[in-house]
Structure 1
Amino acid sequence: MSAPRLGICMPLTSTAPTVGDYLAQLTAEAEAADAAGLDVVMLPEHHQGLPVGYAAPLTLAAHLLARTSRITVATGVLVLPGHHPVHLAEQVTMLDNLSGGRFALGVGAGYQESDLAPFGVGLADRGAVLTETLTGLGALLSSEDAAFDGAHVAFPSFRLRPRPLSVPRPPIWLGSWSRTGVRRAAELADGWIADPIRTITEIAEMAAAYRAAGGIGPVIVMREAWVDTDVATARGAFEPAIAPVFGYYRKSGAYTGSFDDLAADRFVLGSADDCVAQAQDVVDRTGADIVLLTVRHPAGPGHVETLEHITALGHAWKGARV
C-alpha cells in the first residue's frame, strides 16, 4: 500500500479586492504547498457565484501546473454533466502531457440548478448524464478510437490525439454522496471522493462499500480545517468563519443540525501538528489514501496567514512520516 497523501482544497471565492488579486494569491498558495511537500491541490467548480472567484478550474489547473514542479493538481469536483466528453478528453490529455502526469480529474454530478441548467441538464437527469459522460470520457482516454451513443450523450468515432502520457489514463476521481454513486466510482472511475459533510463513521462505511464494489483506486476524503495555536483557539476562530459555508450546505439540503453537532467527527482544528494528527486519524479510521484540507475560507484566514499555515502543515506532515 502506498503512503497516505495530504493536500489542500482551494476555495472558490474570496474577499480579495479583485479577481486578479485572488488568482495571484491562489497561485502563491499552490506554490507554497508544492514547496512544503504537500501532495495535492484541488480546485472545485461552480457557476454564477460571487464577483471575486473563479469558474474555470481546468484553466486555473493549467496555470498552477505551470507554476509548480511536483504536486498533483486536481479538479474537485468538476460538474461533469456540463462538459462534453470529447472536448474534456482533449483538455485532460493536454494537461496530462504539459504537467508530466501531475493532473487528476475529479468529477461529480452536481447538485445545484445554477450549475446544470445553463448546460441544458436538469437535476433529475444529472445522474444519467454523468454516467454517460463518464463512460464516453473513459473510452476516449483509454482507447485509440472511441464512439458513444447514449440517450443524453453521443459522439461518432473519434481518435483522441495527442494521446495521454499517463498509463492507462490520467486518473478520474468521482465524488458522490450516495451508495449508487460509490458503485459508479468503483465501476467507471479511478478513485472515490468523499465530501466534507459526512462524518468519519459514514465515510468509513462508504469506503468499505467502494472497496466491496471492486474499487481499487484511492479514497479521497475532504475536510474543513482551521490552523491556529491550539484546538480551543482554532475552534473559536473557525465557527464564525465557517458559518457562511455551512449555511450554503444547509441551503443545498446537505445537512441539518447545529455547529456543535457538525463539529463532532467532521472538522480538523488546532496547530499544524494537531491537524496532521487528525488527518492521520482520518486515514486510520476510513482507509483514506488522500486527505484534503480546506484551510482558507471566504471569511478567513487571510492570504499571508494561509501561506504560513500551508507551510506549517507541510513540515508537520513530512515530520510525521519520518
Structure 2
Amino acid sequence: MQFSLFYFSGDGSSTSQDKYRLLIEGAKFADRNGFAGIWIPERHFDAFGGLYPNPSVAGAAIAMVTNQLEIRSGSVVIPLQQPLRVAEEWAMVDNLSQGRVSLSFAPGWHPNDFVLYPEKYADRKAIMWRDIQVVQQLWQGAAIEFTGGHGQPVAVQTFPRPLQAQVPIWITAMADDTFIDAGKIGANILTSPLYQNLDEILRKVTLYRQSLVDHGHDPNRGKVAMMIHTFIGNDRQTVRDRVKQPFKNYLKTHFDLVLKSAGELRFSIDPKTLTPQDLDDLLEFSFDSYFNGKVLMGTPDYCQQMVDNLQQAGVDEVAALIDFGIEFDWVMESLEQLKALKQHYDEVPALC
C-alpha cells in the first residue's frame, strides 16, 4: 500500500496571503517522508476547489520545492483543454521536476465549467479518450495536424521535450464502464469511496484488472488509488470535534454533493423548501454518514483497519485529501500520524 496527498478543497474566494501554504508545506512533508505523489485538481468558477484552476501551474511550484514524489494532476479535465497546451505545460513541469509528472484525466461533469468549450459538453467522454491519445502522441514527439490561422492543416510538435519517454496515465473513474475502458488502454485508476461501498469497489477493480488482461496489459502493473478525506489523531472524539465544522462547511460549499449523499440514502429533498435549520440538519446527517465509514478520520488503529479494508478491496494507494478547512497546525499534526500509518505498511508484506 502506497500513500499520497490529495488537494481539492480550499475556499478560492479567500483573499488571505497564505492560501497555498498547506499545498506547499504538505508537498515538502510528503517528499521528505517517502510518499508516492501529490495530486492537484482542476476546478473552475466556484469557491469549492477554486484554489486550483490550473494543476500544471501548481505542479510547477511543487516541482521547485520537492525532489522525489510524483507530481500528478487529479485531474486534467481534458475536454476543457487544448491537448497541445496540456502537452506543453506538463512537459515543462516534467523538466522542472526531473521527470516526475503523472497525469490523471477526467471528462468533467458540471455544465457551467463548459463555458470554456460549450460545444464539447455533450461528447465530453468520447473527447476525453480521443485527446488522451493526442497528448500521449505529442508527449512522445509526434507531429499532429491541426488547423492553422489560414484554415490549412499544420503539423505541430510541442516543446519543451519532456524527460520521460511516456507520461504515466490515470483515469478518474466511478462507473463500471470507465474502469473497463481504463483497463483497455493500460491506464491506472483514481477513484473515491464517497458513492460506493467496499463490495462495489472490489467488483469494479476486478472488472478493471480483467480488462487489463483482456487487452494485453499486466494486471499487476495497473494501480488503483483511492482519494479519501483524511485526518488522524490519538483520540476519536478530538478528531471528530476538529473536523466536524470544517467538513460541514466543506459539504455546504458543494451542496450538490450533500443532496446526492442524502438521495442515495433514500431521502427526498427539494432544496427550495429547505429552511436554515433543515440545511443544518442535512449537513449534520451527511457529516455523520461520511464520518462513520466513508472517510479516513479517527485514531491510528481505526484508520489502519480502514486501509486494510481498502487493500482487501484491491486498492493500491491511499490518496489522502487533507485540505478541507482544518487549521494548518492540526493538519500537520495529522500528517505525522499518516506518516506512521504509511510506515506500518512499508514494513509489512503485501496482502495476497
Query: What's the TM-score once normalised by structure 1's chain length?
Result: 0.85
Offset at residue 84 of structure 1 (A)? 0.9
Task: Specify the alignment match of 2:236 in structure 1.
Answer: 231
Name the % identity: 21
In the alignment, structure 1 residue 190 sits paired with structure 2 residue 159: no
Aligned to 1:304: 329
**Counterpart mapping for 1:238-277 below 5 A:** 238-247=243-252, 251=256, 254-255=260-261, 256=263, 257=265, 258-259=285-286, 260-263=288-291, 265-272=293-300, 274-277=302-305
The correspondence for 2:134, drawn from 133, 136, 141, is 136
Name the CA shift for 1:265/1:208 in 2 (closer, same or farther; >3 Å).
farther
Q: In structure 2, how many angstroms separate the alpha carbons of the residues matched to 1:270 and 1:165?
A: 41
Give the corresponding residue for 1:6.
3
Higher mean C-alpha displacement, 14-23 vs 97-106 = 14-23
Q: 1:282 aligns with which of 284, 307, 310?
A: 310
State the alpha-carbon separation in 2 of the partners of residues 189 and 48 from structure 1: 32
Deviation per residue, 1:192-248 (Å, 9 max, x gap): 111242222222111111111116421111112222223344345434432344456
User: Residue by residue, what CA displacement relative to the aligned partner does 1:148-204 show, whole Å, maximum 9, x if unpaired?
Assistant: 89xxxxx8533334433223x111211022222222322336211112422222221
Structure 2 residue aligned with 1:317: 342
AA aligned opposite 1:312: Q
CA contact (8 A) 1:36 1:311 kept: no
Residue 218 of structure 1 is matched in structure 2 by 223
1:22 aligns with 2:19: yes
| Amino acid in structure 2 at the alignment position of 1:293 | A
Instruction: Give the letter for the 1:317 counterpart.
Output: K
Equivalent in 318, 330, 335 of residue 291 of structure 1: 318
Is contact 1:193–1:222 with CA below 8 Å preserved after alignment?
Answer: yes
Aligned equivalents of 1:305, 1:16: Cα separation in 2: 22
Structure 2 vs 1, CA of residues 303 and 16 (structure 1 numbering), >3 Å: closer, same or farther?
A: farther
Three-state SS of the structure 1 residue aligned to 2:19 is helix
Larger radius of gyration: 2
Alpha-carbon shift at residue 269 of structure 1 (Å): 1.8
**TM-score, structure 2 as length reference:** 0.78
* 3-state SS of 2:8 partner: coil
User: After superposition, where does 1:101-180 map in structure 2 within 5 Å?
Assistant: 101-142=99-140, 144-147=142-145, 156-167=154-165, 169-180=166-177
Q: Which residue of the partner structure matches residue 350 of structure 2?
A: none
Question: What is aligned with 1:42?
Answer: 39
Distance 1:161 1:122, change over 3 A: closer
Distance across 2 between alignment mates of 1:143 and 1:201: 42
Aligned-partner residue type, residue 337 of structure 2? A
Residues 262, 316 of structure 1: alpha-carbon distance in 2 compared, 3 angstrom cutoff: closer
> Using the alignment, how far apart are the partners of 1:269 and 1:18 within structure 2?
29
| 2:18 partner SS | helix
Question: How many residues were matched structurally?
Answer: 310
CA contact (8 A) 2:39 2:73 kept: yes
How far apart, CA to CA, are the structure 1 residues paired with 2:155 and 2:21? 41
Q: 1:200-211, aligned counterparts within 5 Å? A: 200-211=198-209
CA distance in structure 2 between the aligned counterparts of 1:173 and 1:19, rounded to whole angstroms: 33
The structural deviation recorded for 1:21 is 0.7
Separation of aligned partners in 1, 2:296 and 2:156: 45
Gaps of 5+ in 2: 148-152, 266-284, 348-352
- Structure 1 unaligned runs (5+)? 150-154
Q: Deviations over 1:1-59 (max 9, x none)?
A: xxx21011113324996353111332112112222332221111111122972322110
Task: Sort the Cα spacing of 1:320 and 1:128 in 2 relative to 1 into closer, same or farther, 3 A.
Answer: closer
| 1:152 corresponding residue in structure 2 | none
